[in-house]
Amino acid sequence: MDLYAKVSSFVKKLNVDVGSIVTKGQVLAVMEAPEISSQQSAAASRLQSMEALYIASKANYERLLNTSKTPGTISPNDLDIALARQKSDYAQLQSAKASLQETADNKSYLTIRAPFGGVITSRNVSAGAYVGPSGKGSDMPMFTLQEQKNLRLVVSIPEAYSVFLAKQSEISFTIKSLPGEIFKANIQRLAGALDNRLRSQRIEMDVRNTDHKLLPGMVAEVIIPLPSKDSSFIVPKTAIVNSNESIYVLKVINGRAKKETIKRGREKDDNVEIYGNLTPGDRIVRIATEEIREYAKLDSTNTL
């Protein structure tokens, strides 16, 4: 997380540097802005003035109200004017209180605290520097704070494989800079939609990192198990024929070829997972081509 100053000010004191481990609420830096102190004094003075006016108008209305109980002493119009004056002064008093609270809030922003525990990974200011909100005094954040005990691993899964994953599925991953170590995590969040550009689904996993071996930004090599949910068969790529009409394999029935339309699944090396009207024990032509016509007599040596 990038931390910016909330108000334009000057850095008075820095309490942390790159690599500092901080806790939630810890003071990271203290700024100063003399104009905020002046605004607070002016707001406090205005509040006192409004309190005095309200007290006077309230007392005046109460006196007129008590006097008006004697018939003919106070006109109703004068009483209404006094009441309106009291309400107006009360509104001004509430406005003065809000202004004072606003300046107090701005003054509290001069102390930068850690929103959560973590590690300071960058510091872009020094004592005396002018800082402010993003784009208004600071092009770069004052600090970058990262929580490294719990990391998030993000992976984009191609459309063909996304159907095999579910929440809480376990995955394994390795890091090149940590050879020989295998880390595990469970899928916590699935996007539930495909990215229009990559045609892939984003999945996220939470990774515990209490020993701080892993660093944010590391590239992981992910091994995701893709268990098949339906009956499938593994055949060589040479057994599949991609014709203009369909994708099929040649099933051997009584020594002759029979086209069987299939759907392709996952691929690995020279093998392909296929789905179709196949049963265990079926014999398939090992090297199939469009030249082999349906019901043609087959050589038994070219079967699986």
Considering the domain architecture, whether residues 139 and 87 belong to the same structural domain is answered as no
Q: What tokens does 74 get?
A: 């106070």
Considering the domain architecture, whether residues 1 and 133 belong to the same structural domain is answered as yes
Considering the domain architecture, whether residues 70 and 209 belong to the same structural domain is answered as no
Instruction: Please check whether residue 75 lies inside any domain of the structure.
Output: yes
| Residues of the domain holding 115 | 1-12+20-27+111-147
pLDDT digits (tens, 9 = 90+) for 22-47: 999 999 999 888 888 888 889 899 99
pLDDT at residue 271 is higher than 60: yes
Provide long-range contacts, Cβ within 8 A and 24+ apart, for 247-253: 249/274, 249/276, 249/284, 249/285, 249/288, 250/284, 250/285, 250/288, 250/292, 250/298, 251/278, 251/282, 251/283, 251/284, 251/285, 252/282, 252/283, 252/284, 252/285, 252/298, 252/303
% residues pLDDT > 70 (the chain): 94
Q: Could you tell me the pTM of the whole model? A: 0.54
The strand order across the sheet containing 111-113 reads: 111-113, 27-32, 9-14, 130-131
Calpha distance 186→217 (Å, rounded): 19
Considering the domain architecture, whether residues 122 and 100 belong to the same structural domain is answered as no
Instruction: Please check whether residue 228 lies inside any domain of the structure.
Output: no
**Structurally, how many domains does the chain consist of?**
4
Q: How many CB atoms lie within 10 A of CB 261?
A: 11
Considering the domain architecture, whether residues 244 and 284 belong to the same structural domain is answered as yes
28: exposed, middle or buried (Cβ count in 10 Å: 0-12, 13-18, 19+):
buried
Considering the domain architecture, whether residues 249 and 278 belong to the same structural domain is answered as yes
Considering the domain architecture, whether residues 125 and 177 belong to the same structural domain is answered as no
Q: What pLDDT is attached to residue 50?
A: 92
Considering the domain architecture, whether residues 101 and 39 belong to the same structural domain is answered as yes
Instruction: Please check whether residue 186 lies inside any domain of the structure.
Output: yes
Tell me the average pLDDT across 176-193: 88
Instruction: Please check whether residue 63 lies inside any domain of the structure.
Output: yes
Instruction: Please check whether residue 73 lies inside any domain of the structure.
Output: yes
pLDDT digits (tens, 9 = 90+) for 204-219: 988 888 888 888 888 8
Residue 231 pLDDT grade (very low, low, confident, very high; cuts 50, 70, 90): low
Calpha distance 148→175 (Å, rounded): 16
